[in-house]
Structure 1
Amino acid sequence: NVLVLKPDQIIVNVSENEPFVLYYRLQALKRVLPKVIIKGIQTVTRAVISEMAGDKKQLLVEGYGLQEVMTTEGIVGTQTTCNNVIEVRKVLGIEAARNTIIHEIQYTMSSHGMSIDPRHVMLLGDIMTYKGDVLGIHRFGVANMKDSVLMLASFEKTTDHLFEAALYSQRDSIEGVSESIIMGMPMPLGTGLFKLIRKSGREERPVRRKLLFDDPERHVPLVL
């Protein structure tokens, strides 16, 4: 019942003769045909081909399926990129996901005429991926990043985090920046990293000063 006329044209013959039945058969066929995959990747919805220098072509693909695209004949897998961080994490690993985060942030900012120091973007990429998974900068992602009670309380849901910490007798070692600021303590970074500085070549020790009550004469028994 299907006749192929051209590479982009087919004819479908319906065996029904009654116009009423034929109409509904054609309507049902019209709904089903767009979902039929004749050739290609099912998850790709659209592709734009750009002519490059020489015989090379560049494809801008809309959809997902990075692994299927990379293994397609004629596609150079080492030059294939994707802006879906989660899919890059599944296919290429956490380091590739980190590079994707950095590249997409820089691309988005530069498209709006803004520039950010690459070190700030690299720090953000490190924070989002150092646990081995991609974590978002929101209350659920931050909760998986840090174990500090005060750090979690400084972001969102302050009372909930403090109540839970009190209920389970949690402890905070005050080692992060946010915790140190809350407690009014020097943060353990830079000059605040050292607790004691002493010259290594100095051998003599300071002489202990005599305290007030070290003298036995000052120990007077209490008489009632």
Structure 2
Amino acid sequence: MAAPDPGTKPRHRTSWWLGLVLVLAGLAVLGWVAWQFWGTNWVAHRTQERIVGEVEKKWEADGADVVRVPEGDVEALVRIPRFGDDYSVPVLEGTSDDVLAAGLGHFEDSAGPGRKGNYALAGHRITHGEPLRGMPDLEVGDEVIVQTRSTTYTYVLTSAGADLEVPFTAGWVVDPLPVNPDRGGVQPDQREGQRLITLTTCAELFHTDQRLVAFGVLEKAEPVSR
């Protein structure tokens, strides 16, 4: 009878440990994916609900136009009827990762709510609360309601959510009066002094190179009675 190969056990042991490492690595990847697609949404939705509640209480209590929360400064809440009656998302200043994880971000160099120029907002389409997940469903004529402490501004979209796709470097979309360099492309009515809104988000769910952009114009401004 042939003697057993003395190198068999070490090779088996190495293969077992290698297999275990691969399994653990796979579980770690699955855990990361689950966190990105479900965990961040769970956290973000609760963060948004908390911020909306804090802002509404502050507006009632002390009349501050801008409310400071741990995530940043909030001047407005956005409601989009197309996305449901319970849709209410805070708008924070800036477009950093931390801001976009807590709500919509306001491009700091763009106009304020209801002001002349372009009130430009950014938001996630996937993960971190995905407030603009339904961007492609928006249609011309849909309302975007922006509430501040003193005024409710109703904007009406002049382009649909899937009408315009641009590279993430296309800074013209947040200009005071966006002018599309592609002659004949989607853009707001070219009249100075308009009060515009622009919504921007990722064009594809799993890539960030392209952006979907929708433009709107202020239709009415109504004082808030308190």
Tell me the TM-score normalised to structure 2 length.
0.27
**Which structure would you say has the larger RCO, counting Cα contacts within 8 Å and 6 or more residues apart?**
2
Tell me the TM-score normalised to structure 1 length.
0.27
Structure in which a larger fraction of residues adopt helix: 1
Q: Which has the larger radius of gyration?
A: 1
Structure in which a larger fraction of residues adopt strand: 2
